[in-house]
């Protein structure tokens, strides 16, 4: 899963538990048996967990795109696709190589200051702000700052934080979030790099400063700042880039944001209160100007997406593809937390790849025929801004118009029993009904997303298929408000999300993971066998991306 606090820029934290399987974890008043203990007498979830263990092993060093650890993971997936009888679906066998421009920001040699007209006040990199690494940084910048509220430009909602504000030559400062009366999907889309970065560049701004709202921050600042040393990437193919000029990008610690607001008559606490109330924000010039010297090191790397095709049985429908996607990469080796520097990414997203392999195996080996073809796709560079999936969705290895759906799995989080699913995109297309139908026989209920400001809908690979016009969904485990499971998820995000402790030693509910795989298998079969291909709801905002395909 991609990091929340920045959209155009990017940054992201192991706690080795003293206990090992089998063990008991106490959630609220109820004790939930976890790990292999629960399944000591059966094979439930064992195969799934074996994949997770391989992919999240320290030997794979966190599967950073472009590294040997990622290459081993890609080979593992390709070898299994072959074993299950899938056809190669890449450009080089099972692989589709993708090239990336990599930028390392050297914080120790970079400088940041606020200038009030008379003197410079140095800004502490790390404590107060971190520099973005994804978009090519400007080497030197000295520019006025302007606060643009949420920084949202959404014509169809008649909402524009940029209306009447001249941002030319300035650095825009904004708080993540948006007015409560605008649908989450719309806000999320306006925040995507495709929309946001190109809009800001066209408007003439020379940089962006994002202030995350603490209420929607998945992880605390202490861990966000550790991620500042991680390299940023963008697709090397100029056709697939959102900006054309270097741009200053940074994330400002909300606890230090009054440094920016000094003399403006506004305090960060008041602005965050407006954001929490979902009300429109004021826009105003900021008193200080920003001066920065940014030192970077740059290189190019190549890493593959991995694709395998289970050929459909229907003479006509076999030329249509249901994509089952999951990202294979994670964030690699980083700043140590509790002495551990390997960010293993077991839930994020070895778990999703393991489910994909389970389903590919069941379909591939069982001899069960499905009418449409199923394209299993393990993508790279999700953690770097959904880049591998963007490349595939734009340059697919099968005809673009033949892709009828994307079912994406990213960090579905089987840490408690599966009773509820949150399905991102469920309201947008008929796939919402399909997953409900697959879930019902297993007594799993699809419940609404209670935190739309986390922008999950644009934070994983399905979003690139959506933009290519393909109906898509992404399910994850859900919980009812304030339930023990809800708290367990929040704790997980706080402590393990993008931390070295997201490893194969953490408590995992294997039976729940196996139940999820069963559900997803039913979904794949249902979508692949349906007489009609999935379609967008008439009132879906995302339907617009499918319009050129309407005549097909
Ligand atoms: Zn992630």
Cα(347) to centroid of ligand 1, in Å? 9
Cα(463) to centroid of ligand 1, in Å? 15
Cα(453) to centroid of ligand 1, in Å? 17
Predicted model pTM = 0.88
Cα(390) to centroid of ligand 1, in Å? 16
- Report the distance separating Cα 391 and Cα 71, nearest Å: 18
The length of the chain in residues reads 552
Cα(384) to centroid of ligand 1, in Å? 9
φ/ψ of residue 147, rounded to 5: -90, 120
Cα(343) to centroid of ligand 1, in Å? 10
DSSP 3-state percent helix, strand, coil across the chain (nearest 5): 35, 25, 40
Residues 141 and 291: beta-carbon distance below 8 Å: yes
Neighbouring C-beta atoms of residue 436, cutoff 10 Å:
16
* Four-point Cα dihedral 520, 525, 527, 530, nearest 10: -150
Task: Walk along the chain (552 residues) and give the pLDDT tens digit of each residue.
Answer: 655 433 344 332 222 222 222 223 333 333 333 444 444 446 889 999 999 999 999 999 999 999 999 999 999 999 999 999 999 999 999 999 999 999 999 999 999 999 998 999 999 999 999 999 999 999 999 999 999 999 999 998 999 999 999 999 999 999 998 999 998 778 888 988 889 999 999 999 999 999 999 987 877 898 888 888 899 999 999 999 999 999 999 999 999 999 999 999 999 999 999 999 999 999 999 999 999 999 999 999 999 999 999 999 999 999 999 999 999 999 999 989 999 999 999 999 999 999 999 999 999 998 889 999 999 999 999 999 999 999 999 999 999 999 999 999 999 999 999 999 999 989 899 999 999 999 999 999 999 888 766 667 777 899 999 999 999 999 999 999 999 999 999 999 989 999 999 999 999 999 999 999 999 999 999 999 999 999 999 988 889 888 764 444
Token pair, residue 338, equals 């509790």
State the first-to-last Cα distance of the chain, in angstroms, to the nearest integer. Answer: 33
Cα(499) to centroid of ligand 1, in Å? 10
Cα(3) to centroid of ligand 1, in Å? 6
Cα(11) to centroid of ligand 1, in Å? 11
Cα(457) to centroid of ligand 1, in Å? 14
- Report the distance separating Cα 24 and Cα 22, nearest Å: 7
Token pair, residue 75, equals 């080979």
Q: Which helix (H) or strand (E) holds 184?
A: helix 184-190
DSSP-derived 3-state class of residue 188? helix
Cα(545) to centroid of ligand 1, in Å? 26
């Amino acid at each position: 899963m991609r990091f929340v606090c920045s959209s155009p820029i990017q940054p992201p934290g192991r706690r080795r538990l003293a206990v090992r399987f089998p063990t008991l974890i106490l959630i609220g008043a109820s004790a939930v048996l976890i790990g292999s203990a629960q399944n000591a007498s059966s094979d439930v979830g064992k195969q799934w967990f074996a994949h997770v263990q391989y992919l999240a092993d320290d030997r794979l060093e966190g599967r950073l795109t472009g590294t040997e650890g990622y290459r081993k993971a890609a080979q593992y997936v390709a070898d299994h696709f072959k074993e299950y009888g899938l056809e190669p679906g890449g450009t080089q066998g099972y692989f589709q190589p993708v090239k990336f421009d990599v930028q390392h920001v050297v914080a120790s040699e970079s400088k940041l200051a606020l200038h009030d007209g008379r003197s410079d006040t140095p800004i502490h990199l790390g404590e107060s702000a971190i520099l973005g690494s994804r978009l090519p940084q400007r080497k030197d910048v000295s520019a006025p700052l302007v606060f643009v509220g949420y920084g949202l430009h959404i014509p169809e909602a008649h909402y524009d934080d940029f209306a009447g504000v001249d941002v030319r030559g300035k650095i825009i400062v904004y708080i993540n979030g948006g007015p409560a009366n605008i649908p989450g999907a719309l806000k999320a889309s306006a925040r995507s790099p495709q929309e946001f970065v190109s809009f800001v560049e066209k408007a003439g701004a020379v940089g962006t400063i994002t202030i995350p709202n603490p209420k929607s921050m998945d992880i605390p600042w202490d861990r966000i700042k550790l991620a500042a040393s991680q390299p940023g990437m963008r697709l090397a193919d100029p056709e697939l880039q959102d900006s054309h000029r270097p741009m200053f990008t940074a994330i400002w610690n909300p606890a230090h944001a009054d440094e920016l607001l000094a003399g403006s008559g506004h305090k960060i606490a008041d602005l965050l209160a407006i954001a929490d109330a979902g009300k429109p924000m004021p826009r105003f010039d900021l008193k200080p100007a920003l001066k920065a010297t940014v030192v970077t090191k740059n290189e190019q790397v190549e890493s593959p997406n991995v694709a395998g095709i289970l050929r459909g049985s229907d003479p006509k429908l076999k030329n249509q593809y249901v994509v089952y996607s999951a990202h294979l990469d994670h964030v690699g080796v980083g700043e140590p937390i509790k002495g551990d520097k390997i960010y293993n990414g077991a839930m994020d997203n070895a778990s999703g790849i393991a489910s994909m392999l389970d389903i590919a195996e069941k379909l591939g080996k069982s001899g069960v025929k499905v009418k449409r073809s199923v394209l299993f796709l393990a993508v790279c560079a999700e953690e770097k801004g959904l880049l591998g999936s963007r490349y595939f969705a734009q340059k697919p290895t099968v005809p673009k118009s033949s892709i009828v759906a994307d079912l994406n799995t990213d960090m579905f989080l089987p840490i408690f029993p599966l009773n509820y699913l949150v399905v991102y995109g469920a309201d947008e297309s008929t796939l919402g009904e399909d997953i409900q139908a697959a879930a019902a026989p297993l007594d799993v209920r699809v419940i609404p997303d209670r935190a739309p400001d986390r922008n999950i809908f644009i934070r994983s690979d399905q979003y690139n298929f959506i933009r290519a016009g393909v109906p898509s969904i992404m399910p994850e485990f859900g919980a009812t408000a304030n339930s023990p499971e809800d708290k367990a998820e929040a704790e997980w995000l706080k402590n393990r999300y993008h931390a070295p402790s997201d490893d194969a030693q953490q408590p995992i509910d294997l039976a729940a993971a196996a139940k999820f795989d069963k559900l997803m298998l039913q979904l794949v079969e249902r979508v692949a066998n349906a007489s009609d291909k999935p379609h967008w709801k008439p009132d879906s905002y995302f339907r617009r991306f499918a319009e050129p395909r309407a005549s097909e």
